[in-house]
Amino acid sequence: MGETLDESCESRVTPMTKQDWTEKYKSKVLTAPKAIKKIRRGTRIFLGTGCGVPYHLVQELANHADQMADNEIVHLLTLGDTPSADPKFQMQFRHNSFFISENMREAVTEGRADYTPIMLSDLPRLFRSGKMPIDVAMIQVSPPDEHGYCSLGISVDITKSGAESADMIIAQVNERMPVTLGDSFMNVRDIDYLVPFTEPLREFQAADVDETIDLIGSYVARLIENESTVELGIGALPQAVCNNLMESGVRDLGIHTEMFSDSLIPLIEQGVVTCKKKTLHRGKVIASFAMGSEKLYDYVHDNPLFEFRPSEYVNDPYIIGENNKMVAINSALEVDLTGQVCADSIGHKFYSGIGGQVDFIRGASRSPDGKAIICMQSTAMNGKISRIVPRLSEGAGVVTTRGDVDIIITEFGLASLHGKTIRERVLSLIAIAHPKFRNELLEAAKTMKYVHEDQVPFLSQGTYFASEYETQETFKGPDGPITVHFRLIRPDDTDRIKELFYDLSEESIFFRFLTPLRSLRRQTLQEFYNVDQDRDISIVAVISPDEEEESERIIGAGRYLLNRSTNEAEFALLVQDEYQGKGIGTFLLNHLMRIAKSKGVEAFIAYVHPRNQPMIRFLHKTGKIIESRLSMADEEYVFKLNL
């Protein structure tokens, strides 16, 4: 054939031997140099994606650059050495990328290559409509089977539509390409030229998971429920999510994702991912391409668990939304205080691409109980700048609009933004920004009139989502058992605290505030959550959303304020009237006591109005009173409780 096969590469088992298929289709079989000579000057050349790039053909294309002129090379994403992007070939080749990978970034920045921003689900229509006609498709396939079908293997995505739309198809036939099942096959009769050349597939290794990325992954894993269907992706973040899912106890997950890597294998082997409860394609992992190690490629080879389909199907928001509990996980470079997400550029400098982010965010929003998550580290440039900003950088593009945005996650927690006002969004996002930038962001928000001018500064220097302060318990509710979550109060809880206040009886309001309040002043409201967690703690009891309620509801609150001189803390509790007498207050007090004891607090102090007999009885029932007295000056009882 003119090429020497790499004898060190073990061929995957195929139904037809190399000699059989080359003899059967010998009219189509060419060496790479001869195939490249079939490409005319001035044509548009499509390349297969990622680790499925026909590397041997790409090298030969550069080797024959002297035969080329004004050839455009279009692709979704490439890896490794791309010689045709070298500045010395500017007259021969110009790359046009739909997603800018690391090896193309410099060329795009210097203006030697183009970037076409487009949603991944729209690309096949771009080819088939003729808006971007394809003259030549260079792809990589497995050897044909006895029926003449080659598999596109690990790169189906837009490769299938790009090839089907091309006037001429040149396929590198690689015995190392796995046969993947699904809508992933092309018949030899539709391929113009076959170039047999076996070489190892490109491999992709994600960056290491550091402590920050792992923490972000843990917050994502908290949101993934049993029987959810998940979009994973590749890189350090998906690896961190998978690591945390392994430890979360969640079961029967499904996968519907544009791409995946090795991180998926342990989830399958440990029974975390079964796909048995999916509402669409039950029992199948649905994806369009894979990037990882040789182990991954061997794992998907002829594996009926995996079904590879083109991007126009996998990334169709309507199809994505057919999966119940769809969880879409994507990343961002920058988010402004209103929720606009920039994911493809750093200012004017294009960095990556739109990819499938919008497809999956909109798909997850259609899904029953779906969640669309955007993740990013809180800072960039070694902590010098905040990724949460008052306004996007000049030239930064909006990939996910403020109308589409759902959940933003950093290492400091998560902000749920969908359906929230600008004021609520601002407080939620500042709460998950790096602490050293929080009050700077707050001042900018005040200047832009996004929040009240008297909004108090952020005292907390940590996270509002510390898992050590979170717990849950089931109680007897007004209409049956209810699960109540206990967590730290957050700045964006203001409206929920206000709702709690106006649900209280006048008597409860009087006993809590020791005055007959008719309304809750903003200053009083802010005092609920404006605590320094190093000293004070404020916990809320929350009922999660259900079919009748669209947002979580606070039904109780408890806090303690430490007196450093005595190492004793004043505490107060508040439970909505209809939930009183059900054990919620007792649980809340014990939870506060556990936290206080872990911080070295010696005792709790409570100030109670003499007419507040329910509270007095409640305190006596705890069995923890070590001292009580009546303060005649203030006309209130003072109780000291042992922790």
Return the active site residues. Answer: 258
Dist CA 613 CA 597 (whole Å): 27
For residue 121, what are its two tokens? 């689900």
Cα 79 to chain centroid, rounded = 23
For residue 67, what are its two tokens? 């035969």
Contact indicator for 474, 483 with CB cutoff of 8 Å: yes
Dist CA 455 CA 457 (whole Å): 7
CA dihedral 78, 311, 351, 233 (to 10 degrees): -90
- Exposed/middle/buried for 17, CB within 10 Å: 0-12, 13-18, 19+? exposed
For residue 241, what are its two tokens? 């999510």
Dist CA 48 CA 163 (whole Å): 9
3-state secondary structure 35-84: HHCCCCCCCEEEECCHHHCCHHHHHHHHHCHHHCCCEEEEECCCCCCCHH
Q: Give, in order, the Cα–Cα distances in Å from 245 to each of 268, 273, 296.
A: 11, 10, 19
CA dihedral 358, 363, 364, 365 (to 10 degrees): 90
What is the Cα Rg of the chain in Å?
30
The letter for the amino acid at 515 is T
Reading phi first (left if > 0) and then psi (alpha if -120 to 50, else beta), residue 227 is in left
Contact indicator for 180, 154 with CB cutoff of 8 Å: yes
Contact indicator for 354, 309 with CB cutoff of 8 Å: no
Enumerate the H helices of 557-604 as residue ranges: 584-598
Angle (nearest 5°) at CA 398 between 393 and 404: 135
Q: Which helix (H) or strand (E) holds 242?
A: helix 236-248
The number of CA neighbours under 13 Å toward the Cβ of 242 is 25
For residue 141, what are its two tokens? 């396939």
Choose among 597, 510, 530: nearest CA to 589. 597
Tell me which DSSP letter residue 492 carries: G
